[in-house]
Amino acid sequence: MLAGHAAPKAHTYRWVYPLAYGLLLIIFFLPPYAEKPYAPQETSNVINALLRATAEPEPYTILSPLFHLATLALIALMAWRPTYAGRVLAAYMGLNYVVIGWVQGQGVTDIYGYVVHTGNVVACALLAIIWLSVAVQNRLSISLRELDWRHYALAPLALLAFWSPVALTGSAVQPDFNPMLLLTSPAYGLSYCLTTPVFLFFLIIALPNVPPLAYRVTAFNALLYGLINMTWWFDPAMWWMGFLHVPLLALSIVALVLARRRLPVA
């Protein structure tokens, strides 16, 4: 535990968590808006069309190195100035979710015209508000000075998401282990599913010095997206996307398990 910081006190009653999880489920299943009408059974096709359209969003990809460099700067801050790192991390997470909600939550598709992934936009807005509030209240503390083997065991999952080694080849995706993607991959920082695993990794490191409700909401929402994106494994052209979503699913599960052990619940 950091000197001068105490673990956040829980002011949340037990019933708030299932209520929050229920709200996240409702948000998750909000139907997307599409310029061209579609049948309910086409919902997944609409979302997939939007994901393909925003896979390398222009002109935002030019900003991709900034997210990688900002994350590396955050890690340096956690190591050398941990007193300030928690507030900066919370603010960064909040702002990054604003960017993701805008970049990945809406776009123009070939089949359905302009599409808004309503659930994604609302969820990112909620996460942004939560973590910006945490930053204002200075309720997150993190340091890299007390890492143990369990953190190192989870690090490869976070690194895979940070690297996001993927290349688009027509309508399919393929692995691309170009080391330059460690600084330039447009998926990290601009997509929810490949940015959130890194945030979850940081929050796991910060335990128990995290706001319980904010932590659980972030992990549970990640679990929903991690589970649904396992369906990519069934598409031969997109199997690599299924593999790249393993960090999101695995770290969300670990985060929720650890929440029961290391965070107060009432």
Q: Which distant-in-sequence residues (6+ apart) come within 8 Å of 175 by Cβ?
A: 165, 166, 167, 240
Q: Indicate the pLDDT class of residue 140, thresholds 50, 70 and 90.
A: very high
Q: Are 117 and 104 in contact (CB under 8 A)?
A: yes
Q: Are 32 and 46 in contact (CB under 8 A)?
A: yes
Q: Which residues of 165-174 are buried (b: 16+ CB within 10 A; e: fewer)?
A: bbeeeeeebe
- Which pLDDT tens digit goes with each residue over 161-201? 999 999 877 678 899 999 999 999 989 999 999 999 999 99
Q: Indicate the pLDDT class of residue 6, thresholds 50, 70 and 90.
A: very low
Q: What local confidence, expressed as pLDDT, does residue 11 receive?
A: 53
Q: What local confidence, expressed as pLDDT, does residue 131 receive?
A: 98
Average pLDDT over residues 243-254: 98
Average pLDDT over residues 77-103: 96
Q: Bridge-partner residues for 116, per DSSP?
A: 33, 106
Residue (of 229, 220, 167) closest to 193 by Cα position: 229
Q: Are 136 and 75 in contact (CB under 8 A)?
A: no
Structure tokens belonging to residue 138: 């200075």
Q: What local confidence, expressed as pLDDT, does residue 3 receive?
A: 38
- Is the model's pLDDT at 139 over the cut of 90? yes
- Which pLDDT tens digit goes with each residue over 18-74? 999 999 999 999 999 999 999 999 999 999 899 888 876 666 778 889 999 999 999
Residue (of 223, 213, 225) closest to 253 by Cα position: 223
| Count of other CB atoms within 10 angstroms of residue 113 | 11
Angle at 202 between CA 196 and CA 204, to 5 degrees: 100
DSSP code per residue over 117-134: -HHHHHHHHHHHHHHHHH
Is the pTM above the cut of 0.85? yes
Number of continuous H segments (helices) and E segments (strands) in the chain: 11, 5
Q: Indicate the pLDDT class of residue 1, thresholds 50, 70 and 90.
A: very low
Q: What local confidence, expressed as pLDDT, does residue 12 receive?
A: 55
Q: What local confidence, expressed as pLDDT, does residue 83 receive?
A: 94
Alpha carbon 151 to its chain centroid, in Å, reads: 18
Between CA 33 and CA 240 the distance in angstroms is 28
Percent of the chain at pLDDT above 90?
A: 77
